[in-house]
Structure 1
Amino acid sequence: MQSKASQERKQGRRSAETAEQTKCLIMHVAADMFAELGFERVSLRNISESAGVSHSLIRYHFGSKEQIWQAVSDGMDSYLQRYIAELLLEIPDTQDSAHRIYLFLVSLNAVILCEPKPIQFIADAVRQKNDALLAYFLRSKDQFSAVFKSLFEDYNQQHPDTPIELWEMKWQMLQHAHAAVSLKPMLNETWPELDGNEDALLLRHWELYNKQVAMQMSIAKEDMIHPTNLADLLLDIPCHVEPAS
């Protein structure tokens, strides 16, 4: 027969697991709502109703809407950091720096198009009258770029007459990805023959970026990649937002 202390420890573990599951649920619901509606149009009451938990429980776990937003943003930032690190490991060292940058950019663009929440959060932060949300995003930009900075430095050392600017390439990617999110109805207008097939439309949109980067990096046509579905380019790293440990 279990001792009272053992029973209390088990009950404590179950309570901690339940609390963690509740926080995850709240963050996933909040992430969807912030991405779809924007920060200003979402309230704690909206989140509690959609998550099926009490308003007071959300305040207990997070305190405020701003803190939920920050927790979700941290989760997405952590996901992209892990994804970029794994993506760099997947790109063969045998390729020259130009081809490695090409593969890196078009592969990263694929996941951003398929998992648009980070772009939606950034765009919404820019729209806010209060700069606090945007400042929260920009706080880690140097840390974020450090992961792949050496890739661009290698190229510029090998091509001193035609260097590329890391932040310009990042800006091009942000523009391209945001267009697919903010102007989504225009995708079908551009390619009506695809009859609203979202996967096919995103692939066709991605191909425009693929051609642009290949041209910038002087990649031969025969060395370009042309997946039949963007999912073929994704690594097996699900986009989950989790509470900070």
Structure 2
Amino acid sequence: MNDRKQGRRCAQTAEETKQLILMTAGRMFCEQGYEKVSLRNISEAAGVSHSLIRHHFGSKETIWYTVSDILSSYMQTYIRGLIGEFPEDKPANIILYHFTMKLMAHMLVNPQPLQFIADAIRQEGKFFDYFMDTSGDFEQIIQDSVEQHNKQNPGHQVDLWEIKWQVIYNSHAAISLKPLLNIVWEKENCSGDDALLKHWKLFNKKMINDLNIKPQDYIEPSNLKDLLLPIACDFSNPESCRDELHKFS
């Protein structure tokens, strides 16, 4: 019995160590970029030995692929959740509006997946190709809403890829230039989450116009976190995303 208990404790410790390594490496990849992070950097930041990291993962590249799988799986789950909230009795422009603005809110509050994508794109090699190899299952659902919207609103035509691009670059600009973002609304004593909300509201105005949204359907949050689904993970907090990590540990 004692041997079995000891084995379970060892297995639990190994799993927790792997999760710690992944969390630490993921955060460092997002903040510094893949090229600037070494296994030695990860071991020092995580407080584990270099040899232990090699024992669990073998190489920095393997860690990167594992982190990528975690973030990709999580975002697919989150997008599925947003799509699952589509109200069946609402017109296509309302569906697109809610999906776009709630997805952007998530990107601003939990920037790690977008930061990771941006670094993968900068690699312009196998990492970029690996990350962009997606099935497109969700894209067709959103494309159907775009086509319905364009039929219902001939004076407000939109393009799916243009919407995606606008969401990405508006979100990434706020994340990567956050110190400047705080300066923009400094006179209003806005910084941090309040400044991100101000930025979100700028894009909200644009989407209201592009999608021909009426005032009674405006989204007007007092905090961006109010727009997040309950399944939202904070990848800077291991407890918030332990289930996602557990899938790959």
TM-score calculated relative to the size of structure 2: 0.87
Unpaired segments ≥5 residues, structure 1: none
- 2:200 aligned residue: 206
TM-aligned CA deviation for residue 147 of structure 1: 5.8
Letter in 1 for 2:67: V
CA offset digits 1:138-159 (Å, max 9, x no partner)? 1116245356444334434555
Q: Residues 12-91 of structure 1: matches in 2 within 5 Å?
A: 12-91=7-86
| Number of residue pairs matched by the alignment | 239
1:127 paired to 2:131: no
- 2:130 aligned residue: 136
Q: Which moved more, 1:90-99 or 1:100-109?
A: 90-99
Aligned Cα root-mean-square deviation (Å): 2.1
CA offset digits 1:102-126 (Å, max 9, x no partner)? 0110011000011111221122222
Give 1:117's match in structure 2, choosing from 108, 112, 116.
Answer: 112
Task: Find the aligned partners of 1:162 and 1:228 in 2 and give their Cα distance.
Answer: 28
Letter in 2 for 1:69: W
Classify the secondary structure of the residue corresponding to 2:23.
helix
Classify the secondary structure of the residue corresponding to 1:140.
coil
Flag the 1:220–1:151 CA change in 2: closer, same or farther, 3 A. Answer: same
Q: Residues 161-180 of structure 1: matches in 2 within 5 Å?
A: 163-180=157-174
TM-aligned CA deviation for residue 182 of structure 1: 1.6
CA offset digits 1:34-66 (Å, max 9, x no partner)? 111111111001111111111111112111111
Classify the secondary structure of the residue corresponding to 2:95.
helix
Among all aligned residue pairs of Structure 1 and Structure 2, give the percentage whose two residues are the same amino acid. 48
Flag the 1:171–1:223 CA change in 2: closer, same or farther, 3 A. Answer: same
Task: Find the aligned partners of 2:188 and 2:43 in 1 and give their Cα distance.
Answer: 39
- Conservation of the 8 A alpha-carbon contact between 1:188 and 1:194: no
- Conservation of the 8 A alpha-carbon contact between 2:78 and 2:232: no
Task: Find the aligned partners of 2:9 and 2:72 in 1 and give their Cα distance.
Answer: 29
Flag the 1:141–1:195 CA change in 2: closer, same or farther, 3 A. Answer: farther
CA offset digits 1:83-133 (Å, max 9, x no partner)? 1111222232221111011011001100001111122112222223x5112
- 1:220 aligned residue: 214
- 2:238 aligned residue: none
TM-aligned CA deviation for residue 23 of structure 1: 1.0
Unpaired segments ≥5 residues, structure 2: 234-240
| Structure 1 runs of 4+ with >6 Å offset | none
- Conservation of the 8 A alpha-carbon contact between 2:80 and 2:138: no
- Conservation of the 8 A alpha-carbon contact between 1:194 and 1:201: no
Classify the secondary structure of the residue corresponding to 1:236.
coil
- 1:244 aligned residue: 248
- 2:149 aligned residue: 155
Task: Find the aligned partners of 1:153 and 1:60 in 2 and give their Cα distance.
Answer: 51
Task: Find the aligned partners of 1:18 and 1:154 in 2 and give their Cα distance.
Answer: 52
- 1:95 aligned residue: 90
Flag the 1:196–1:161 CA change in 2: closer, same or farther, 3 A. Answer: closer
Task: Find the aligned partners of 2:138 and 2:21 in 1 and give their Cα distance.
Answer: 26
